[in-house]
Amino acid sequence: MFKPVVNRPLLLVALLAFGLVAPTARGEDVEGKVVPYVPTPQEVVDKMLELAAPKKGEVLYDLGCGDGRIVVTAAKKFGVKGTGVDIDPERIKESNENAKEAGVTEQVKFVIKDLFKMDFKDADIITLYLLPTINEQLRPQLLKLRPGTRIVSHAFSMGDWEPDQEVTMEDPGNQNIYFWVIPAKAEGSHTVAVKGKDGESQEVTLDLKQKYQMVTGTATIGGEQVEISDGRLRGRTLSFTAGGEKYTAKIGKDEDEKKASVAEAEGDATDSAQPAADREEGEGEKSSDKAADEGQDKDAGAAETGTEAETETEGASEKADAPSEEKE
């Protein structure tokens, strides 16, 4: 299904050194110079997904998706909903063919679009195989994503944003993989419950400064203000050392907690706090049950309409021959 590959990082470095390609997304033409498309080895794809740890129903975007192998593999192995983005129509066509062969067309789509004009705020995972300059240009957009979103890049890092984890695969060909978890915005003052090594919770006040996932500042514990060290965010979870003790705390509220709070205020907390994938399956059924119980034909019709709309949306992903709407 997927074609064999060469060592693309070394190839790109060589081509850049001789000025034969421009530092832009693969397949994109800038001033007549084109970054060549060389796909990620399947062994590297598997390792990237291992680091990202996808869960069924999560949303994955592959930026510069080539032949779609990351999206297709993630959908087939982990049950994710994937979107591949590329600017080359040939790659999009190839991606759709690979998705069809793998039997995952209902889970994935491929689109021809400029990476910098993409809206991927619903992403749980972003995968990249671009050039260093493109990664750095995308960095501000990535940092606006929901805390906890996972970013995995093959071959190239993100400038001064240090990865949370770096893996070098000796086979094939010393390939580097970089992994980040989007950190919460922690700059400022927070009163939070922290847990120490004994597992007991206590309330402390944190005054923090932040650079990416790295955090410095002070903690006021038991009325005493102390400097914190080893401060680090992984999503919303802050770990730090203060007064010789190690602590963890949650910064802000995650999206699920926010949804649950809204739902509780509306008297519907249980259903709205479900994962998004479960809610999509349950909403039409719930609406129909409610209509039957209350005898409200209008509500029943609304549930029926919602089901039709959902079916139409799922069907759209099968239009593999419409590259302007499909993934790479």
- Between 258 and 302, name the one with better pLDDT: 258
Q: What are phi and psi of 285, to 5 degrees?
A: -65, -40
Closest CA to 100 of 64, 126, 127, 68: 68
Same domain assignment for residues 74 and 218: no
How do residues 259-272 score in pLDDT, each as one tens digit?
Answer: 444 444 444 433 33
What per-residue confidence (pLDDT) applies to 171?
86
| Domain assignment of residue 226, yes or no | yes
Residue 304 domain flag: no
Q: What is the tens place of the pLDDT at every residue in 190-230?
A: 999 999 888 889 999 999 999 999 999 999 998 999 999 99
Q: Which residues fall within 8 angstroms of residue 279, CB to CB, at 6 or more apart?
A: 271, 272
In this structure, are 77 and 207 located in the same domain? no
| Strand ranges (E), 165-297 | 165-169, 175-181, 188-195, 201-211, 214-221, 224-234, 237-242, 245-250
One domain, residues 140 and 75: yes
Residues 117 and 224 in one domain: no
The domain of 238 spans 188-250
Is residue 164 in a domain?
A: yes
What does the alpha-carbon distance between residue 291 and residue 148 come to, in Å, rounded to a whole number?
37
Say whether both 110 and 197 belong to one domain. no
Q: Is 279 within a domain?
A: no
Mark whether 15 and 107 lie in a shared domain.
yes
Residue 109's CATH number:
3.40.50.150
Render pLDDT for 134-170 as a digit per residue (tens, 0 to 9). Answer: 999 999 999 999 999 999 999 999 999 999 999 999 9
Same domain, 32 and 163: yes
Question: Do residues 255 and 123 make contact, with C-beta atoms less than 8 angstroms apart?
Answer: no
Residues 26 and 158 in one domain: yes
Same domain, 75 and 159: yes
Q: How confident is the model at residue 292 (pLDDT cuts 50, 70, 90)?
A: very low
Q: What is the pTM of this model?
A: 0.72
Residue 286's pLDDT band, with cuts at 50, 70 and 90, is: very low
Same domain for 124 and 246, yes or no, is no
Q: Are residues 158 and 224 in the same domain?
A: no
Q: In this predicted model, what pLDDT tens digit does every residue of 3-56 receive, in sequence order?
A: 655 444 444 444 443 333 433 334 444 333 345 687 899 999 999 999 999 999
Q: How many domains does the chain have?
A: 2
Cα 241 to chain center, whole Å? 29
What's 130's DSSP letter?
-
The answer to whether residues 85 and 222 belong to one domain is: no
